[in-house]
Amino acid sequence: MKNPVTRWTTFGAMSRYLNSFLTDFYLPFYFLRNYTSYTGQFAAVYSLMLVFCSVFSGLVGGYVCDKFGQGKPMMKSWICIIGNLIAMPAFNLAVLCTGNFWFSLAMIATKYIFGSSWKSPAITMMQNTVPPQQFGNIVSAYQFFYIMSGCTSIVCF
């Protein structure tokens, strides 16, 4: 990957996906260990939260890029960066503040709402910087590398 946008986007997606897999493996253990009386509520709310917050975040991330990104080449990268910078403290608050189940779950929802907006802008950045003949290969390599980085998280856990 000679194109710096493609290289750095792939590296960012790999680290983000590794983070996603690790937190998705860790969070059920954390909640079921710290909040033993909320097992049923956690299962229902967490599964709904994963679906709706992640889809909402992805759609909003793409919409914001399309709406406000005209003539601002850094807008797409700022959406990726700022979303994840908001998601990190939310995750930290969720797992470090163990006194309130619903607060922890709200912080995890915040993590998914802001932290899942990276994928649409990342693909668009690559689409705008590589020749159309190479775009399919670039996206295939991008997805291969970030999914493989997520699969390596199984070894870490």
* pTM exceeds cut of 0.85: no
Average pLDDT over residues 11-39: 82
Under the banding of pLDDT at 50, 70 and 90, the label for residue 101 is very high
Express each pLDDT in 30-50 by its tens digit: 898 999 899 889 989 998 998
Range of the domain at 128: 4-156
What's the one-letter identity of residue 26? Y
Angle formed by the axes of helices 132-156 and 119-129, to 10°?
140
Number of domains the chain contains? 1
CATH number of the domain that residue 110 is part of: 1.20.1250.20
CB 121 within 8 Å of CB 142: no
Average pLDDT value for the chain? 85
